[in-house]
């Protein structure tokens, strides 16, 4: 599948469905992939943090990649290959690309400190992967404790032709997106795709600031797709109306530690995956939390409808 610096739209962060006994749930993987495609995603990102990547062994990781690549067919698949070392990173990346994946995503180890250390890390990673493996830089300081200035990102993009996309989930992200786009406008940085994450909490303004789309796993993928469409169509108020209708739930879903449990609970409730179990270490929702999610869901449905959108619970 084509994947380049012009990528845009929603590259959904895919959950990884397990059976209640902990095995990969292949039918649910297929159903989830179908749901993402029907929602209109531009791509699928597997083995991200929210995909419980570290909990899969090497064989399971590549099996999951193969399954999703085969099912997704029409859209590019990006594979998280973040690893404490370049050898296992390279091994997974090359297997993934051979299996048909389009690109890989790399977060920095949380021990990096100086600008030069970050730049050198990505240079080594790019060399380990090989020039033919496109990669995405995951810039997520809250999760990884590594802060990259726009200038550091510029150096990484400039030094490594195979860097095609930035997943900007700095907190705050808005001025950073503006700064990166200005570097490009000033001719100081080549164009790369910028997608944003951070639990989609700022996606309304991120799109206005110049991002190309969203790399989020919010349980209502079709809402993210619609948001990107509205923003690209310049329908500002409509985009904010839809976003605001979902913000209470988006906010609830991005709680650290609990967020994935909320997401899987919603995907199961909607019939997309069979079980919301996580592999250890994983959180589960208390009875109270489930009731809170149900309450927010009902409110989001009403608010969505009031804003002129279909009820988000309808799964095709």
Can you give the binding site for its own copies, defined by CB under 8 A? 53-60, 83-88, 90-91, 110-111, 113-117, 120-121, 124, 127-128, 141, 146-149, 151-152, 171-172, 174-175, 178, 201-202, 204-205, 208-209, 240, 243-244, 247-248, 251-252, 255-258, 279-281, 286, 288-289, 292, 295, 299, 303
Query: Does residue 29 sit in helix, strand or coil?
Result: helix
Per-residue b or e along 43-61, where b marks 16 or more CB atoms closer than 10 Å to that residue's CB:
bbbbbbbbbbbebbeeeeb
Q: How far is the CB of 149 from its own copies (least distance, A)?
A: 5
Per-residue b or e along 155-167, where b marks 16 or more CB atoms closer than 10 Å to that residue's CB:
bbbeebebbbbbb
First CA to last CA distance, the chain: 24
Q: Which is nearer to its own copies, 34 or 292 (CB)?
A: 292
Q: How far is the CB of 82 from its own copies (least distance, A)?
A: 8
Q: Which is nearer to its own copies, 184 or 205 (CB)?
A: 205
Q: How far is the CB of 221 from its own copies (least distance, A)?
A: 21
Q: Which is nearer to its own copies, 55 or 190 (CB)?
A: 55
H or E segment to which residue 248 belongs: helix 236-253
Helices (H) and strands (E) in the chain, counts: 12, 8
Tokens of 301: 């449905």
Q: Which is nearer to its own copies, 26 or 315 (CB)?
A: 26
* Strand intervals (E) in 193-282: 193-196, 213-214
Q: Which is nearer to its own copies, 40 or 248 (CB)?
A: 248
**DSSP symbol at 18:** B
Tokens of 297: 């869901």
Q: Which is nearer to its own copies, 40 or 210 (CB)?
A: 210
- d(CA 108, CA 95) in angstroms, rounded, equals 21
């Amino acid at each position: 599948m084509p994947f380049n610096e012009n990528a845009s739209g929603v590259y959904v962060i895919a959950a990884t469905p397990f059976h209640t006994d902990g095995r990969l749930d292949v039918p649910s993987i297929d159903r989830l992939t179908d749901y993402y495609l029907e929602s209109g995603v531009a791509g699928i990102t597997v083995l991200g943090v929210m995909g419980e990547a570290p909990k899969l062994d090497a064989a399971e990781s590549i099996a999951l990649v193969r399954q999703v690549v085969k099912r997704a067919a029409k859209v590019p698949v990006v594979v998280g290959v973040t690893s404490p070392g370049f050898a296992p990173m390279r091994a997974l990346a090359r297997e993934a690309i051979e299996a048909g994946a389009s690109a890989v995503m790399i977060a920095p180890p949380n021990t990096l400190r100086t600008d030069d250390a970050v730049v050198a890390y990505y240079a080594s990673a790019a060399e380990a992967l090989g020039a033919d493996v496109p990669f995405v830089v995951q810039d997520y300081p809250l999760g990884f404790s590594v802060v990259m200035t726009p200038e550091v990102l510029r150096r990484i993009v400039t030094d490594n032709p195979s860097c095609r996309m930035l997943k900007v989930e700095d907190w705050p992200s808005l001025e950073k997106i503006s700064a990166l786009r200005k570097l490009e406008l000033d001719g100081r940085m080549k164009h790369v795709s910028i997608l944003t994450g951070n639990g989609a909490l700022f996606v309304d303004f991120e799109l206005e600031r110049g991002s190309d789309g969203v790399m989020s796993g919010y349980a209502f993928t079709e809402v993210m797709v619609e948001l990107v469409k509205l923003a690209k169509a310049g329908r500002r108020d409509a985009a904010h109306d839809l976003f605001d209708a979902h913000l209470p739930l988006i906010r609830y879903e991005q709680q650290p530690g609990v967020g994935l449990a909320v997401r899987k609970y919603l995907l199961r409730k909607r019939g997309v995956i069979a079980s919301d179990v996580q592999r250890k270490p994983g959180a589960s929702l208390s009875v109270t939390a489930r009731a809170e999610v149900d309450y927010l869901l009902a409110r989001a449905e009403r608010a969505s409808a009031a804003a002129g959108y279909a009820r988000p619970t309808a799964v095709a």
